[in-house]
Amino acid sequence: MIRRFPRASSVRVRCGMLCAAVLALLTVSSGQVRAEQPRQAGLVFSQVSSGPSATPAGVVAPEKRSGPATFWEWLWDYLYNGASLTVGIGTRQADLRVTDKSTNASGKISQRNEGAYFISYSTRPSFIHSTSLGYTVKFNYTTFSMDKQEVAKNVYEDVGTSVRGRLAYVVPTVFYQLGEHGRRAAYVRLGIGAGLGAAKYDGSIILDYPANTTPIAISNGDYGLKFAASLMLEARYRNWGLTFTAAGPSYEDEQYRYDLSDLASYVNFTWYF
């Protein structure tokens, strides 16, 4: 019995040491698993939320639509999609009043109710909160040939003076519309705008007629932008329309002040982009 006791004790000690080692190993492994579980859970959550696994197998994910990525793409979209180009034929009255700033003497020369061609461009109309009030940007270009001088109040005659030139203006316009909305619609539209205009011309005019009968030469050789205002009344049925406009810039140089106005009415046809 005395000889067997050390062997049994030795066996118990070895078993105890083995159990302690296994327990320590299990403790360390369990700690590592618990430490990794939050990171793995977060990774799985991110995959479910935003990764490819968010879409079930066999199901096509919806296409994500986005607006224009750059300023130039936005500008092209605004200037082309839904815009329109209008050409027409009708009558016009273009007036140019020139005033000498030092003497206040003035003269007026005009193109009176003559046939003319018209071309204009408009951006797509936008309406405010689905109402009849909207806005657009209009660009108009036209030429004029004035050869009738005002010799008395509303009396115009050919006295040998003339002014020829070109007129262009870009005007953001706010309008009120009665009728249908959308492309190729039927509507009546009344608008008012303010923007920039430019005119290039040359010729001659008499100031303070008939007290003075000597013409002076006038010219504007550049397309410097000046303030311009406009009024518009338009009735349209699909592509065809009848338009009335009034617009023109005013400006001055060192000696004279110039007030240019353009009144027009014309039948027109519109292409929509």
Say whether both 124 and 187 belong to one domain: yes
Say whether both 22 and 112 belong to one domain: no
Say whether both 37 and 86 belong to one domain: no
Q: Which domain holds residue 161?
A: 73-272
User: Residues 126-152: what's their mean pLDDT?
Assistant: 91
Assess whether pLDDT exceeds 70 at residue 170: yes
pLDDT digits (tens, 9 = 90+) for 217-249: 998 877 678 888 899 999 999 999 999 999 878
Within-domain flag for 175:
yes
Within-domain flag for 263:
yes
CB 239, CB 75: distance < 8 Å: no
CB 122, CB 78: distance < 8 Å: no
Say whether both 14 and 105 belong to one domain: no
Assess whether pLDDT exceeds 60 at residue 191: yes
Q: Please state the length of the chain.
A: 273
Say whether both 97 and 33 belong to one domain: no
* DSSP codes, 125-173: PEESTTSSEEEEEEEEEEEEEE-EEEEETTEEE--S-EEEEEEEEEEEE
Within-domain flag for 101:
yes
Indicate the pLDDT class of residue 38, thresholds 50, 70 and 90.
Answer: very low
Provide the CA 8 distance to its chain's centre, in angstroms.
97
Per-residue confidence (pLDDT) for residue 66, from 0 to 100:
57
Per-residue confidence (pLDDT) for residue 26, from 0 to 100:
38
CB 122, CB 84: distance < 8 Å: yes
Within-domain flag for 57:
no
Say whether both 112 and 237 belong to one domain: yes
Assess whether pLDDT exceeds 70 at residue 174: yes
Per-residue confidence (pLDDT) for residue 140, from 0 to 100:
87
Say whether both 11 and 105 belong to one domain: no
Per-residue confidence (pLDDT) for residue 67, from 0 to 100:
61
Within-domain flag for 53:
no
CATH label of the domain that carries residue 234: 2.40.160
Indicate the pLDDT class of residue 162, thresholds 50, 70 and 90.
Answer: very high
Within-domain flag for 52:
no
Domain count, the chain: 2
Within-domain flag for 68:
no
Greatest Cα pair distance, the chain, in angstroms, is 155
Say whether both 39 and 80 belong to one domain: no
Per-residue confidence (pLDDT) for residue 116, from 0 to 100:
84
Structure tokens at 251: 């400006």
Say whether both 108 and 18 belong to one domain: no
Q: How far apart are CA 247 and CA 135, in angstroms?
A: 17
Within-domain flag for 242:
yes
pTM: 0.66
Q: How far apart are CA 130 and CA 132, in angstroms?
A: 7
Say whether both 114 and 32 belong to one domain: no
Answer with the residue of higher pLDDT: 106 or 200: 106
Q: Which helix (H) or strand (E) holds 199?
A: strand 186-206
Assess whether pLDDT exceeds 80 at residue 89: yes
pLDDT digits (tens, 9 = 90+) for 60-86: 444 444 566 788 888 888 889 989 999
Answer with the residue of higher pLDDT: 61 or 103: 103
The sign of the torsion formed by the CA atoms of 139, 232, 221, 202 equals positive
Say whether both 249 and 160 belong to one domain: yes
Say whether both 24 and 85 belong to one domain: no
